[in-house]
């Protein structure tokens, strides 16, 4: 596991977008795993800026998002489909049918999960972008999630609903369930970038770096992936940052 210390949120986003450009420019039929939440929005803005400047092609790019709320339609401004369209897809020339997000309105959720996992397997994710939940969740894999899990339905932790209530009118409006790629689905990615920004993530990042690999802290599994880079800003890493030669890769 490598750690890159960014000066601030802007630099973290810039560094992440450069890693993504690298894949888009150098991998034929590249598949990207994408995240939502507050953390990656500026990274996506850098992708849009790059497209506007360089007319970057997206015809060979396929994307898979980590998760989606159950019960929200794609037109609901809090659905992750809406988020991705708003923050990225509507501004770059990616064919919409190449962008995959679990369907939170599927009649048969189990079938939806199985079909999603199959699609991921057919493509294989070259680079997965992740954010970090304050309770250690990645995607919507809450503490206690089995490390062997594939795409599945989850009950959201109260702390996650509270953390995400800032995007909704009230806590009651935050869905109680979601579909998420599982830990196993995420770990199958060839490369992973974990973005961490801001002081409110300090405790979670410290536990990730210093703690045990344990299902009670889902992100800890990343220590067992051979190609993970954490890009974190100064606000979360403090002054120690880069000098720490963390290398957990097996």
**Residue where the block lists tokens 């690999």:** 213
Q: Which of 65, 87, 117, 137 is catalytic?
A: 137
Smallest separation (angstroms) from ligand GLP to the CB of 80: 8
What mask, x for binding ligand GLP by CB under 6 A, covers residues 204 to 243?
----------------------------------------
Neighbours of 125 (CB within 10 A): 24
Query: Which residue, 26 or 170, has its beta carbon nearer to ligand GLP?
Result: 170
- Residue 135 designated active-site: yes
Q: Is 33 in the site for ligand GLP (CB under 6 A)?
A: no
Q: Report d(CA 20, CA 52) in Å as an integer.
A: 16
Strand order in the sheet with 30-34: 2-6, 228-233, 191-196, 127-131, 30-34, 61-65, 99-100
Torsion angles phi and psi, residue 154, rounded to 5: -125, 150
Which residue spans within 204-247 are E strands per DSSP?
228-233
Identify the residue among 14, 38, 56, 85 touching ligand GLP (CB under 6 A): 38
Q: Which residues, at least 6 apart from 21, have a Cβ–Cβ distance to it below 8 Å?
A: 47, 50, 56
- Residue 142 designated active-site: yes
Query: Which residue, 98 or 134, has its beta carbon nearer to ligand GLP?
Result: 134
Identify the residue among 33, 102, 104, 139 touching ligand GLP (CB under 6 A): 139
Identify the residue among 17, 20, 62, 67 touching ligand GLP (CB under 6 A): 67
**Residue where the block lists tokens 């993504």:** 20
Residue 179 belongs to what H/E stretch? strand 177-180
Instruction: State the catalytic residues.
Output: 67, 135, 137, 142
- Binding positions for ligand GLP, rule: CB under 6 A: 35-39, 66-67, 131, 133, 139-140, 160, 164
């Amino acid at each position: 596991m490598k750690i890159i210390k960014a000066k601030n949120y802007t630099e973290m986003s810039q560094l992440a977008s450069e890693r993504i450009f690298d894949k888009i420019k150098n991998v034929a039929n590249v598949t990207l795993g994408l995240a939502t939440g507050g953390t990656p929005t500026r990274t996506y803005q850098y992708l849009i800026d790059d497209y506007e400047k360089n007319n970057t092609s997206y015809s060979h790019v396929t994307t898979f998002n980590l998760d989606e709320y159950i019960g929200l339609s794609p037109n609901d401004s809090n659905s992750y489909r809406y988020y991705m369209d708003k923050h990225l897809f509507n501004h770059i020339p990616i064919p919409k049918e190449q962008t995959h997000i679990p369907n939170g309105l599927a009649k048969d959720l189990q079938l939806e999960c199985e079909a999603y996992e199959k699609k991921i397997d057919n493509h294989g994710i070259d680079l997965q972008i992740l954010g970090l939940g304050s309770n250690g969740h990645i995607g919507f894999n809450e503490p206690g999630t089995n490390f062997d899990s594939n795409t599945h339905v989850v009950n959201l932790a109260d702390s996650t609903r509270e953390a995400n209530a800032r995007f909704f009118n009230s806590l009651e409006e935050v869905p109680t369930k979601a579909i998420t790629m599982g830990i196993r689905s995420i770990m199958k990615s060839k490369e992973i970038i974990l973005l961490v920004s801001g002081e409110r993530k300090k405790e979670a990042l410290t536990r990730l770096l210093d703690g045990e690999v344990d299902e009670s802290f889902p992100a800890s599994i990343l220590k067992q992936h051979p190609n993970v880079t954490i890009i974190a800003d100064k606000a979360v890493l403090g002054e120690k940052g880069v000098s720490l030669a963390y290398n957990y890769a097996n």
